[in-house]
Amino acid sequence: MKYKYADIMDNDISDSINGIAVSVWMQGCPFHCADCHNSELWDFNGGKEMPDNFIDILYDKLVANNVKRNLSILGGEPMCTENIDATEYILSNIKKRLPDLKVLLWTGRTWEDLMNDKIKTFGVLMYVDILIDGRYDKSKRDVTLPLRGSSNQRVIDVPNSIKENKIILYEIN
Protein backbone atom coordinates (compact mmCIF):
# COMPACT_ATOMS: atom_id res chain seq x y z
CA MET A 1 0.00 0.00 0.00
CA LYS A 2 1.24 3.48 -0.84
CA TYR A 3 1.04 5.96 2.01
CA LYS A 4 0.33 9.66 1.50
CA TYR A 5 1.59 12.83 3.09
CA ALA A 6 1.09 16.52 2.40
CA ASP A 7 4.53 18.07 2.88
CA ILE A 8 7.85 18.10 4.73
CA MET A 9 9.58 21.15 6.20
CA ASP A 10 13.31 20.67 6.74
CA ASN A 11 14.06 23.19 9.50
CA ASP A 12 10.89 24.09 11.37
CA ILE A 13 11.34 26.27 14.45
CA SER A 14 7.67 26.86 15.27
CA ASP A 15 6.58 23.21 15.60
CA SER A 16 9.35 22.10 17.92
CA ILE A 17 10.82 22.49 21.38
CA ASN A 18 14.38 23.33 22.30
CA GLY A 19 15.56 23.75 18.75
CA ILE A 20 14.41 22.78 15.30
CA ALA A 21 12.45 19.93 13.78
CA VAL A 22 11.80 18.26 10.53
CA SER A 23 8.01 18.44 10.22
CA VAL A 24 5.88 16.00 8.28
CA TRP A 25 2.28 16.93 7.52
CA MET A 26 -0.10 14.05 6.93
CA GLN A 27 -2.79 14.45 4.26
CA GLY A 28 -6.47 14.24 5.20
CA CYS A 29 -8.52 15.11 8.26
CA PRO A 30 -12.06 14.11 9.23
CA PHE A 31 -12.54 16.87 11.84
CA HIS A 32 -12.76 20.07 9.74
CA CYS A 33 -12.34 22.43 12.72
CA ALA A 34 -13.62 25.96 12.15
CA ASP A 35 -10.76 28.32 11.20
CA CYS A 36 -8.36 25.38 10.86
CA HIS A 37 -4.78 26.45 10.19
CA ASN A 38 -4.35 23.66 7.62
CA SER A 39 -7.75 23.27 5.96
CA GLU A 40 -6.02 22.59 2.63
CA LEU A 41 -4.96 19.26 4.15
CA TRP A 42 -8.52 18.01 4.85
CA ASP A 43 -8.92 16.19 1.52
CA PHE A 44 -7.77 12.56 1.76
CA ASN A 45 -7.38 12.51 -2.03
CA GLY A 46 -4.80 15.31 -1.98
CA GLY A 47 -1.14 15.17 -1.07
CA LYS A 48 1.68 13.05 -2.44
CA GLU A 49 2.48 9.36 -2.35
CA MET A 50 5.46 8.52 -0.18
CA PRO A 51 8.27 7.30 -2.40
CA ASP A 52 9.85 3.95 -1.57
CA ASN A 53 12.86 5.80 -0.12
CA PHE A 54 10.76 8.15 2.06
CA ILE A 55 12.43 6.99 5.29
CA ASP A 56 15.89 7.55 3.75
CA ILE A 57 14.85 11.05 2.64
CA LEU A 58 13.47 11.83 6.10
CA TYR A 59 16.57 10.44 7.83
CA ASP A 60 18.86 12.59 5.66
CA LYS A 61 16.84 15.69 6.59
CA LEU A 62 16.96 14.82 10.31
CA VAL A 63 20.76 14.47 10.38
CA ALA A 64 21.72 17.12 7.81
CA ASN A 65 24.85 19.10 8.71
CA ASN A 66 25.14 17.20 12.01
CA VAL A 67 22.42 19.39 13.54
CA LYS A 68 20.25 17.70 16.17
CA ARG A 69 16.61 17.94 15.13
CA ASN A 70 13.30 16.73 16.50
CA LEU A 71 10.61 15.13 14.34
CA SER A 72 7.16 16.70 14.31
CA ILE A 73 4.14 14.90 12.84
CA LEU A 74 1.17 17.14 12.09
CA GLY A 75 -1.79 17.25 9.78
CA GLY A 76 -4.25 16.84 8.50
CA GLU A 77 -4.80 14.21 11.15
CA PRO A 78 -2.01 11.69 11.76
CA MET A 79 -4.11 9.53 14.12
CA CYS A 80 -7.25 9.04 12.03
CA THR A 81 -8.07 5.65 10.52
CA GLU A 82 -6.85 6.71 7.08
CA ASN A 83 -3.43 7.93 8.34
CA ILE A 84 -2.53 5.92 11.43
CA ASP A 85 -0.74 3.15 9.50
CA ALA A 86 1.37 5.69 7.60
CA THR A 87 2.18 7.50 10.86
CA GLU A 88 3.25 4.23 12.48
CA TYR A 89 5.31 3.35 9.39
CA ILE A 90 7.21 6.64 9.59
CA LEU A 91 7.84 6.54 13.32
CA SER A 92 8.73 2.86 13.65
CA ASN A 93 11.22 3.04 10.79
CA ILE A 94 12.85 6.34 11.69
CA LYS A 95 13.18 5.43 15.39
CA LYS A 96 15.06 2.26 14.38
CA ARG A 97 17.68 4.51 12.84
CA LEU A 98 17.52 7.35 15.37
CA PRO A 99 16.38 5.85 18.69
CA ASP A 100 17.11 9.05 20.67
CA LEU A 101 15.06 11.23 18.30
CA LYS A 102 12.46 13.37 20.11
CA VAL A 103 9.06 13.02 18.43
CA LEU A 104 6.19 15.49 18.74
CA LEU A 105 2.76 14.63 17.34
CA TRP A 106 -0.36 16.78 16.96
CA THR A 107 -3.79 15.14 16.91
CA GLY A 108 -7.38 16.30 17.10
CA ARG A 109 -8.13 13.19 19.12
CA THR A 110 -7.91 13.38 22.90
CA TRP A 111 -5.60 11.30 25.07
CA GLU A 112 -8.66 9.60 26.55
CA ASP A 113 -9.93 8.63 23.08
CA LEU A 114 -6.50 7.31 22.10
CA MET A 115 -6.31 5.23 25.30
CA ASN A 116 -9.76 3.74 24.56
CA ASP A 117 -8.41 2.66 21.16
CA LYS A 118 -5.02 1.28 22.30
CA ILE A 119 -5.05 -1.60 19.83
CA LYS A 120 -4.83 0.90 16.98
CA THR A 121 -3.01 3.78 18.65
CA PHE A 122 -0.34 2.22 20.83
CA GLY A 123 1.77 1.30 17.80
CA VAL A 124 2.20 5.04 17.23
CA LEU A 125 2.23 6.33 20.80
CA MET A 126 5.14 4.08 21.80
CA TYR A 127 7.35 6.26 19.56
CA VAL A 128 5.97 9.67 20.62
CA ASP A 129 7.55 11.84 23.32
CA ILE A 130 5.19 14.80 23.26
CA LEU A 131 1.54 14.67 22.18
CA ILE A 132 -0.51 17.78 21.54
CA ASP A 133 -4.07 16.53 21.80
CA GLY A 134 -7.55 17.89 21.14
CA ARG A 135 -9.24 19.66 18.29
CA TYR A 136 -8.58 23.30 17.65
CA ASP A 137 -11.45 25.35 19.11
CA LYS A 138 -11.62 28.88 17.71
CA SER A 139 -13.65 30.04 20.74
CA LYS A 140 -10.65 29.11 22.91
CA ARG A 141 -7.99 30.48 20.57
CA ASP A 142 -4.85 31.65 22.36
CA VAL A 143 -1.81 32.55 20.29
CA THR A 144 0.35 32.86 23.43
CA LEU A 145 0.26 29.12 24.13
CA PRO A 146 3.33 27.19 23.01
CA LEU A 147 2.72 24.37 20.51
CA ARG A 148 -1.06 24.78 20.35
CA GLY A 149 -3.70 27.13 19.08
CA SER A 150 -6.47 26.85 21.66
CA SER A 151 -6.58 26.45 25.43
CA ASN A 152 -8.47 23.14 25.35
CA GLN A 153 -5.47 21.43 23.75
CA ARG A 154 -2.88 19.81 26.00
CA VAL A 155 0.84 19.15 25.70
CA ILE A 156 1.29 15.64 27.09
CA ASP A 157 4.42 13.80 28.19
CA VAL A 158 3.63 10.47 26.54
CA PRO A 159 6.24 8.13 28.10
CA ASN A 160 5.43 9.33 31.63
CA SER A 161 1.68 9.28 30.99
CA ILE A 162 1.89 5.67 29.83
CA LYS A 163 4.10 4.75 32.79
CA GLU A 164 1.84 6.46 35.36
CA ASN A 165 -1.40 5.45 33.59
CA LYS A 166 -2.63 9.05 33.81
CA ILE A 167 -2.06 12.28 31.91
CA ILE A 168 1.24 13.94 32.74
CA LEU A 169 1.53 17.33 31.10
CA TYR A 170 4.84 18.16 29.46
CA GLU A 171 6.57 21.11 31.06
CA ILE A 172 7.87 23.45 28.40
CA ASN A 173 11.00 25.28 29.53
Residues 77, 42: Cα–Cα separation, whole Å = 8
Neighbours of 22 (CB within 10 A): 26
3-state SS class at 85: helix
Examine residue 173 and state whether it is found in any structural domain, yes or no.
no
Q: Compute CA 8 distance to the chain's CA centroid, rounded to the nearest angstrom.
A: 12
Examine residue 110 and state whether it is found in any structural domain, yes or no.
yes
- Residue 54: what pLDDT? 97
H or E element in which residue 92 lies: helix 84-97
Give how far Cα 98 sits from Cα of 57, 74, 127, Å.
14, 19, 11
User: Which residue range(s) make up the domain with 74?
Assistant: 4-164
Examine residue 130 and state whether it is found in any structural domain, yes or no.
yes
CATH number at residue 75: 3.20.20.70
Mean pLDDT by 10 residues, the chain (173 residues): 90 86 94 80 92 97 96 95 96 97 97 91 95 95 93 97 96 82
- Residue 3: what pLDDT? 93
- The DSSP result for 16-66, as a single string, is -SSSEEEEEEPS--S---TT-TTGGG--TT-SEEPPTTHHHHHHHHHHGGG
Examine residue 127 and state whether it is found in any structural domain, yes or no.
yes
Examine residue 82 and state whether it is found in any structural domain, yes or no.
yes
Domain count, the chain: 1
- Residue 40: what pLDDT? 86
Examine residue 79 and state whether it is found in any structural domain, yes or no.
yes
